[in-house]
Structure 1
Amino acid sequence: MFHSSVIFRYIFAASLLVLLCCSAPSNNKQGLPPSLALKSFELADEFQVELFAAEPLIADPVAMEVDEKGDIYVVEMHGYPEDLKGSGIVKLLKDTDSDGKPDKAEIFADSLVLPSGIMKWKKGVLVVDVPHLWYLEDSNNDGKADIKEKMLTGFALTNPQHIANTPLLGVDNWIYIAHQGAITPKVSMIFNDTGTNVRFANNPNAVQLPRDAEGRNIRFRPDTYELEMLAGESQYGHSFDNWGHHFCTSNADHLFTEIIAARYLKRNPSLLVADATENIPDHGDAAEVFPITNNPQHQLLTDAGVITSSCGITYYQGGLFPDSFNNISFIAEPVHNLVHADRIKSKGASFVASRVYHEKEFLASRDAWFRPVQFYIGPDGALYVIDYYRQIVEHPEWMSEEVNKSGALYNGSDKGRIYRITPKGTGRAQWPNSIKIGNKIEELVSLLSNKNIWWRRTAQRLLTDNSDVKKFASLKNYIDTSQSAGGIVHALWLLEYSKQADSSSIIKTLLHPVSGVRENGLKVAEMNLERWPWLADTMMKLVNDEDARVRFQLLCSLGGVDSEKSASVRMQLLQSGIEDRWVQIATLSGSAGREWQVMSTAIEQFSSRSSEGRRLFFENCAALIALNQKAGDIKKAIAAATVSKDTGSAWWQSAILSGLHKGLSVKGKPGADFSKEESALLKTFQPSAPSMLRYAATELIRVLGVSSNKQLKDIISNAEKIAADSNAELGFRIDAIRLLALSKNSSNISLLERLIDPVQPESLQQQAVKTYAENDATKAASYFIEKWKQMVPSVRESAMAVFFTSSETERLLLGALEKGQIQPGSLGWQRSVWLMNEDDSAIRNRARRILSDKNSNRSEIIRKYEEALNAEADAKKGKELFAINCSTCHQVNGKDGKAFGPDLASIRNRDARFILADILDPNRSIADTYELWTLTKKDGRRLSGIVSAQTSESITITSIGGNSETLARSDIARLEASNISAMPVGLESAISVKDMANLLAFLKGKK
């Protein structure tokens, strides 16, 4: 919840995070008293901060809720990080002396394990305490919950950083729960619950979600037993804007939003989308922040650090702050003792977030114990900051043993504060004794116009519970007459929830001048199309709406409308937004069974002018056609892509062929005669053909094969001549070598062996290696061992991949390693890890004997390399070392490498000794969500890498070098995390102490 482990969320920097508490904790075991802590703040000029509540009234607060009577519920998580004895409680606070601050606390509920969120519901509250979501109610008004019922169950009781949390009532009358269900190897030994099917505890016949909801956010409606898994995830906290856009957070990715809903992705099961969310800050992941902490406990950062522990995302809707704060989000950053603010603006179907303040933060403290973890917008519109106030908030998973054993993990567990932030000149809080909300319909409906989300949300909840049918007429009248756009959205969803939305109200929202109202009107209209099919005509009138998100929602909503007019409007929407990848995804999600029609229309409308967005759409649409396995559609696509046209058509034709190749590579060729299509593809194999078209056709024919033996013989004969012809154009020769994979004969092998020669161009040698392996991987592997010393590095890299195609080739590799024919350093780190984690125990044990660290005392190695910290260093040489040893996974300032791992410019402010320690001993800690995973497909193919993205329908594995593959969950047989870092030990074998000094100089940004 609060840790810094995902600061980089990648392999090199994963283990750096252990050092946030690497040094022994300071002797200060008490922190500052509230009065002095208050003086330690620096706050944005136009605001003021005051203490609202503190110990001994509260301790370890992580969430709060205020009910319609002004009673204050505070959730206290005393068990963090590893205490499962049930020490968590919910307190009920009251202001008995009317000074605007609570002065009395009662234990409302106890015996909770790791309570992580609370929401008022009906006569009680909902509290998340995994594996359950509890409904707690005080039925006899004694201030204590005497009713305790499980509402949901099945969430994993896992690392507390990743448990379900923060129930939140959405404007659409669904209750949303944030969830990111990662389990790290070390902590899972303590928190060994992986969850079960997430479900309603009291209704076995209701819908059930997969185990632990697959780590996704969920939403549910208790009264109707509706339960859904969303497309995105959020670590601790989530928030909505006025229109229901869902904003989420995860430690280093401090602000992202779900763009396309899971329900739209599900309607086309062949569509594999890597991620349904988008990071929106224009200042990047692990964004720079500006702490002011005196003697920070983590002892790593200078004046500038990076976001490492983002949580508590809150979109401000209080109505008290200046209007310029109406689109501001706040995140808590407890590791750096600050609150960061971003201004959110529209950008196409998505958003962009920019810093509110230049090189400073909205709120920062000099007190290293200030640990903001959550916010609450109160009835007065103030921003209430929930301060966990602990000496240490990092989890033991990412800390050194020295700190774990220091006895300091729970220092401050008897403390906690809540601060109230308001504009300067605001008086004390009046609401604790002045809230009087009745049950009159007109009063409740009028509250929907309040600028403060607390009043709107409270009124929404009370109206939902109110059984007076007069409310429906009042809500419809409100939609007709209200000037409050936000209130109208609440009213519309209240009607829809009760199945009382009428076509007149829906149409009014579709025609409303505020785009957010129109967007929600489309969602509700979509849900009522079976009842009123003609509503689609009114919806389609928004095809040229000035707002991009309205058009995007229209595109999503029309995906379920099967009519010629709807198809025409969707293509019009695609044309106007084709450079936006989300528009493409929305189009394809609604094209199930109609992919060829969409492709055909796209060729007519979009093929006259090339652009990156258009090329990508042709490729993606073709891939979807291939994945659907409709032979007729595949044939039509090939025909369109191979029909003779001018060279200006090659860009879109090659994109179609490339997409078909990608799709058929996953699903295979459907059972049909493709001889005509094979001939058409082979006609592109000529030197005069555009290279991009010839390449794409060659790749596709390698998947389809050649059914005619005579034609195949002629092709191979021609390809052999071209491949051997040193005077032929290089690209043509390489394409010819690709075609040789179609036939496995001895003459091919002989030619390929001759082409794997240092006198040949490297790219040609690399293709010869790949084609040789496709013909006979075992024979190829044996040949590569013989020729290893003669191979240049790039060709060795291609050859090395061949050794990992089967158990037999892996055994050949291990034999070569034992005999010294190949050096262990040639494997690369990821492949070493792969071998040492092989399913085959004989290979695994043999690899560990060969590759295990001969000098396993990491401490001694680190001490030896500490000489590098004080040595003279050359950053230019360090850059060269980075290119050799690090660039396969990392970049610096967006350059010089692969963006598989984090941009290492983000670590330049860290102490060099800590960077050194974790380079040399990366297994000290493996960052959550960046463990090395092994994925086994149902067809037996295995992949290794990090799980870089997920949706409810897919998982994306990214391997070293940044290559990603997105797979349908239904195609996965097994997915297992390794307890070894993807950056294993052993770098010292590749670089000297002097080299290390140079590398550190480069990483630290020295000139």
Structure 2
Amino acid sequence: MLLRWCLVFSLCAFASGRQSLRAAEPVKGPIEPEASLQYLEVDPGLTVELVAAEPDVVDPVAAAFDEHGQLWVVEMTDYPNGPPEGGPPLSRIRVLSPLKDQPGRFGNARTFADKLLFANGLLHWQGGVIVTMDAGIHYLKDEDGDGIADRKEAWFTGFVKGNPQLRCNHPTLGLDGRIYVANGLRGGSIAANKEKWGKESAPISISGMDFCFDPYTGEGEAVSGLGQFGLAFDDYGNRFVCSNRNPCRHIVLEDRDIKRNPNLVVTSVMEEVSAPAEKSHIYAISRPWTTSTQHAGQFTAACGLSIFRGDALPAAYYGNSFTCEPTANVVHRDILEPCGATFRAIESTEQREFLASRDEWFRPVYTFSGPDGALYVCDMYRAVIEHPEYMPEELKTRPDLTLGNDRGRIYRVVDTRVVKARKPGSREPVLNHPSAWQRETAHRQIVEKSQSIDPASLRLIALVDDVIPARLPALALLAASGSLQKSDLRSVFRLNKPAVQAYAARIAAKSFADDPEIHSLLIATPPADLDGATRMSVALALGAYPIDDASLDWMAAALAAVPDDAWLTTAIATSVPKDGAKLALRYWKHASESGADVSADEKRQIRELFSLAATQADREALKALVQQVASSAARQDKSERPPVALEGVARGLKTRGERIAPLLGELSPESAKVIRSLFEAAGTVAQSDAAPLARRIDALKLVGFAPPEMIAPAVSPLLVASENSLVAAAIEALGASDDAKVPELLLTDYGRRSPALRSVILGQLLTSEPRVTALVTAMEAGTVSLRELDSGRLTVLQRQKAPALKERIAKLVQAAAPADRSQVLAEYQPVLKMKGDPLVGREVFAKNCVTCHKIGDLGVNVAPDIADSRVKTPVQLLTDILDPNKAIDNNYFSYTVIDQSGQIYTGILSAETASSVTLKQPENKTVSILRSDIDEIRSNGVSLMPVGLEKSIPPERMADLISFIKNWRYLDGQVPKDVIR
């Protein structure tokens, strides 16, 4: 019986995730190159052709055609573990030539450079290649004509080394003439090394950012985005990246724009264009093996992203995104559709992939276009593609890790009917060619000064050429050479080509900053008449000009026209570092005229605008904001706009370390009374059982900003509410009060609170010395356990300055010092022989783990994924639970941030911009803090997970917990309980 159920489980794991029934027909490799074609399936009407294969190419991870028609290939044979100890690096760059007797095939490979370490990307530049390798950016060139690189320069170093999957990659030339490089996820401190660039500039931190540089001056910059292995541009200069679980992300906001407003909190700069993580769908026809069965049928190793812009596929494919998923043996296609300032992906409804193979060695990792207009795919062709770092311990030394490192293929996907129907014409690089490879190659040749073109010719292309995408590089080259004229921009805006207008607005701000004529040109068209991309570009461009009444009117009208475009709100906010109050008041006029119904998007917009305004405003402007709210409420505006605006102002004041109560004393008695009535009304809504839960929680957020004496009466009755989310909101609102009774109220019934609520209470009790004193007293009385504090909060507790309090804390810490981890592990070894009950283990998990971990539909994903029983043995799980700091991915280190007011925030660093940092906290909460408000930020060097869970989970329950983690997916009643282990 047990064998039978194990077989059922195995088949279910392979068939899950909406995979095709054809997955029951897997093909085991290795298969010879020509024969492997029969196992590939591609969209109907298209053809897959073999372009190159071993021995001419092995382990290809990147490739590009040069202007002479040769195919340059980066081979990463040292994946995954590097060269043998003491041996030379194994990566190399090979150059393949067209085979005269086999049209479309490439061979006669010559080695351009070898003994490279973890090479993974290249870009042709001035007769040589810019290569990402050895965690740096290098330049290689053959100068003596023997076909072998003899000039080798390290241009940039300082990218973090480590896992070869997580290193800088994809050097790509942008329209602006700068070269962009994907971070690889691990960051670094980047230093320019080329001698003639000089070394005066300080290293550039790219934590949470990608990198770009000027290839002539060496000027580098950290830019928005965080690509893992993939970076691409579309025709209009939009940049896209990908990472394992994120197949296509659009970089919407650049860090250089965010920097203009240091008061602006930006939590994200990227749009998830394609469905990410658990929302994604992969339809494999093989039997893919992933390190998490919960991720079956989803993206787990998205890489090699490109935006196709060739002319050898039907027009419907132009501008589509293509992302490789090597673990599932597929290349995924999404149609990108404009959506406001960004895009959204339209996935195929046919539940099939663009390109898929039944050969389980097919490992596509890179896509690119060629001079023939076709889509090309690099296939590493390996038995195993997963890096051993992500494998169970017992598989990390499996003998097949490098099987296939003597193989590799490159394929081409075309529609032969389209190719035959194309108009005859040259495939040489020209700026106004219908296919992107020719345009990009010509653009590169002009930028690198190996090809010249006069401004008059560029102007013709930029303004009247029939190939619309050609107009953008022409405009960019005019701007870069100083030849762009104001008349050019007037013509562009008159021609009404939205994509070109959007790009023109971007370069206008750089080429003609502060020019009143261009400023007037930018805002001449009402925002409602512009497409989303142009509206966004104009909003960002206005930041380069003095903000006058005309600009504010245009911005206010834009916000009112599209309240659902959150990116536009942020873009406009970057452009008004000082005039937020004026903008908010002008916007209010538009919003108030739009009727009583207030959408969630409009509420978000109002809250953000009034918060930003209050952050920047002087005293008079602050009073004007609050007076406007009071006036609207007094005029019987029964919509949710006045309370939402009031909350925004209060949030902005909190950022400044101020409260709204003192401001009320500066208003007229009538206005102050109206504002108080709004706070009272919020309290009434919060206590109303008839009101929707979400509205009650929103009301509590406003109550938390009320004058302190109003908070406790409104909130206290809700501390015993049945909904935990409502209680949590009440606790946070109560924490804003300076009432001396707050600690007593928070600690009432503390022992009966859930772990999640106790965590919220502890956060509030650590905000001031009197509250910490009450907390310490509760710990001494045994009401609260010191072990409930994570590492960040414990550090805050120990930093109290009052000598007597500090001494009491030291005694508590000494008494609660965690036992030696090795000793605890030894004591818990019998757990490994116990038969656990997974149903009981579910309850243990719900009580102790759900604030940070998710299994099935239980909990939230803050910490690393623990949902897959294949990844961890019982002994590994036991070690991870009892000694969580033994091995931590540095992406999950706990950070502590202390702001200027002494407020403490602890969590995992999830996003960084020039102006703010964002922490991900238990219960999947996020908090963003302005850098200007941060007094201290540090990595705690430990896991967010507390040490000492043995105090809460005795051995019998630990066995149950481990059984649940191992067997949770079998608890749906379909599997006999007696076969579950």
Report the TM-score when normalising by structure 2: 0.80
Shift of 1:121: 0.8
Shift in Å, 1:569: 2.0
User: For the residues of structure 2 that align with 1:603 and 1:302, how far apart are their CA atoms?
Assistant: 47
Consecutive unaligned residues in structure 1, runs of 5 or more = 1-27, 184-193, 429-433, 438-443, 697-728
1:630 alignment partner in structure 2: 618
Q: Aligned in 2, Cα 1:784/1:650: closer, same or farther, shift over 3 Å?
A: closer
Equivalent in the alignment of 1:488: 471
* Pairwise CA distance, 1:394: 2.5
Q: Residues 361-392 of structure 1: CA distance to partner in whole angstroms, max 9, x if unpaired?
A: 11222233322111121111222211222333
Are 1:849 and 2:818 an aligned pair? yes
1:387 aligns to what?
379
SS in 2 for 1:379: coil
Counterpart in 1 of 2:943? 980
| Residue 335, structure 1, aligned to residue 327, structure 2 | yes
AA aligned opposite 2:939: E
| Secondary structure in structure 2 of the residue aligned to 1:249 | strand
What's 2:627 paired with? 639
Change in Cα spacing, 1:255 to 1:130, as seen in structure 2 (3 Å) is same
Q: How far apart, in 1, do the equivalents of 2:419 and 2:699 lie?
A: 78
Once the 2 structures are TM-superposed, how far is the Cα of residue 399 of structure 1 from its aligned partner?
1.9
Q: For 1:468-519, what per-residue CA distance to the aligned partner results, in whole angstroms no more than 9, with x for missing partners?
A: 7652222123334421101121211121121112233333322334321221
* 2:921 equivalent in structure 1: 959
1:171 equivalent in structure 2? 175
What is the DSSP-based 3-state SS (H/G/I as helix, E as strand, rest coil) of the residue aligned with 1:849? Answer: coil
Are the aligned partners of 1:272 and 1:967 in contact in 2 as well (CA < 8 Å)?
yes
Q: CA deviation at 1:198?
A: 6.1
Pair 787,955 (structure 1): closer, same or farther in 2 beyond 3 Å: closer
- Indicate conservation of the 8 Å contact 1:44/1:363, yes or no: yes
For 1:683, the equivalent position in structure 2 comes to 673
Rate the CA distance shift 1:313–1:845 in 2: closer, same or farther, 3 A.
farther
Q: Which amino acid aligns with 1:381?
A: G
State the partner residue of 1:256: 249
- 1:621 aligned partner: 609
- 1:87 and 2:90 matched: yes
Name the amino acid aligned to 2:654.
S
Displacement of 1:326: 1.0
Runs (5+) with no aligned partner, structure 2: 1-26, 687-695, 800-808, 975-981
1:649 Cα deviation after fit: 5.2
SS in 2 for 1:965: strand
Where do residues 196-235 of structure 1 align in structure 2 (5 Å cutoff)? 196-197=190-191, 202-204=196-198, 210-211=204-205, 213-235=206-228
For residue 462 of structure 1, give the secondary structure of its aligned residue in structure 2. Answer: helix
In terms of mean alpha carbon deviation, does 910-919 or 643-652 score higher? 910-919
Quote how far apart the aligned CAs of 1:793 are.
8.0
Could you report, residue by residue, the CA deviation over 1:565-595 in whole angstroms, capped at 9, with x for unpaired residues? 2332222222211221112112211112111
The aligned counterpart of 1:278 is 271
Work out the CA distance in 1 between the residues paired with 2:39 and 2:375: 18
Any conservation in 1 of the 2:643–2:678 contact (CA below 8 Å)? no
The separation in 1 between residues aligned to 2:143 and 2:701, in whole angstroms, is 78
Counterpart amino acid of 2:186?
A: A
Q: Which moved more, 1:800-809 or 1:653-662?
A: 800-809
Amino acid at match of 1:319: D
Give 1:586-985 correspondences, 5 Å limit. Answer: 586-608=571-593, 609=595, 610-628=598-616, 630-643=618-631, 645-648=634-637, 651-669=640-658, 674=663, 676-677=665-666, 683-684=673-674, 691-692=681-682, 741=708, 771=734, 788-789=750-751, 798-802=760-764, 804-805=766-767, 821-822=783-784, 827=788, 831=790, 835=794, 847=816, 849=818, 854-855=824-825, 861=831, 864=834, 868=838, 888=851, 921=880, 929-937=891-899, 941-972=903-934, 973-976=936-939, 978-980=941-943, 982=945
In the alignment, residue 554 of structure 1 is paired with which amino acid? V
1:461 positional shift: 1.3
Q: Tell me which moved more, 486-495 or 669-678.
A: 669-678
What is the correspondence of 1:234-253 to structure 2 with a 5 Å cutoff? 234-253=227-246
Structure 2 contact 313–414 (Cα < 8 Å) conserved: yes
Structure 1 residues 980-999: aligned runs within 5 Å: 980=943, 982=945, 993=960
Q: State the alpha-carbon separation in 2 of the partners of residues 688 and 286 from structure 1.
A: 40
TM-score, normalised by the number of residues in structure 1: 0.78
Asked if the contact 1:519–1:553 (Cα under 8 Å) also holds between the matched residues in 2, the reply is: yes
Aligned equivalents of 1:455, 1:891: Cα separation in 2: 48
Displacement after TM superposition at 1:335 (Å): 1.7
* 2:432/2:439 contact within 8 Å kept: yes
Deviation at 1:560, TM superposition (A): 2.7
Aligned to 2:538: 554
Please state how far the C-alpha of 1:689 moved relative to its aligned partner: 6.6
Distance 2:764 2:514 in 1: 59
The CA distance in 2 between the partners of 1:863 and 1:63, in whole Å, is 49
Q: Look up the SS of the partner of 1:677 in the other structure.
A: coil
User: 2:280: which partner in 1?
Assistant: 287
Q: How many Å apart are 1:946 and its aligned residue?
A: 2.1
The yes-or-no answer on 1:69 pairing with 2:52 is no
Question: Per-residue displacement from partner, 1:612-656 (whole Å, max 9, x unpaired)?
Answer: 333222221222133226233222222222346144256222223
Report deviation, 1:96. Answer: 5.3
Provide, for residues 755-794 of structure 1, a one-character-per-residue CA deviation record: whole Å limited to 9, x for no partner: 89979999789958975896599x9769977964577888
Q: Secondary structure at the match of 1:233?
A: coil
The structure 1 residue matched to 2:366, chosen from 343, 362, 374, is 374
Work out the number of aligned pairs and report it.
Answer: 904
490-499 vs 31-40, which moves further: 31-40
Choose 419-428 or 282-291, whichever is displaced more: 419-428
- Match for residue 500 of structure 1? 483
- CA separation in 2, counterparts of 1:916 and 1:601? 62
Deviation, 1:203, is 2.1
Which amino acid letter does the alignment assign opposite residue 635 of structure 1?
A: K
Distance between the aligned counterparts of 1:695 and 1:650, measured in 2? 14
- Secondary structure at the aligned position of 2:197 is classed as coil
Counterpart-to-counterpart distance in 1, 2:728 and 2:972: 37
Q: 2:563 aligns with which of 578, 582, 589?
A: 578
1:33 alignment partner in structure 2: 32
SS at match of 1:541: coil
Shift of 1:352: 0.8
Compute the displacement of 1:799 (Å): 3.8
- C-alpha distance in structure 1 between counterparts of 2:728 and 2:405, whole Å: 63
Mapped to 2, the partners of 1:649 and 1:592 lie a distance apart of: 31
Letter in 1 for 2:414: T
Structure 1 residues 675 and 157, CA gap change in structure 2 (3 angstroms) = same
Q: Aligned AA for 2:128?
A: G
Residue 309 of structure 2 contacts residue 318 of structure 2 at CA under 8 Å; is this kept in 1? yes
Task: Tell me if structure 2 keeps the 8 A contact 1:629–1:667.
Answer: no
Q: Is the CA contact (8 Å cut-off) linking 2:907 and 2:944 kept in structure 1?
A: no
Match of 1:139 among 113, 138, 143: 143
Q: 1:754 and 1:508, CA in 2 relative to 1: closer, same or farther beyond 3 A?
A: closer
| Distance change (3 Å), C-alpha of 1:427 and 1:636 | closer
532-541 or 796-805, larger mean C-alpha shift:
796-805
1:538 and 2:521 aligned: yes
| Contact in 2 for aligned 1:291/1:303 (Cα 8 Å) | no
Change beyond 3 A, Cα 1:1002–1:801: farther
User: 1:805-828, CA deviations, whole angstroms, 9 ceiling, x for partnerless residues?
Assistant: 579988987997798655799x4x
Q: CA deviation digits over 1:672-703, x for unaligned, max 9?
A: 9846337868635867976239999xxxxxxx
Q: Percent same amino acid at aligned positions?
A: 25
The alpha-carbon deviation at position 62 of structure 1 amounts to 1.1
| Distance apart, 1:156 and its partner CA | 2.3
- Superposed CA deviations along residues 298-342 of structure 1, whole A, max 9, x for unmatched, are 486599521111011111111110111013111011122211111
2:392 to 376, 400, 423: 400
1:40-73: CA deviations, max 9, x gaps? 3222222222322222222222111211112222
RMSD: 4.7
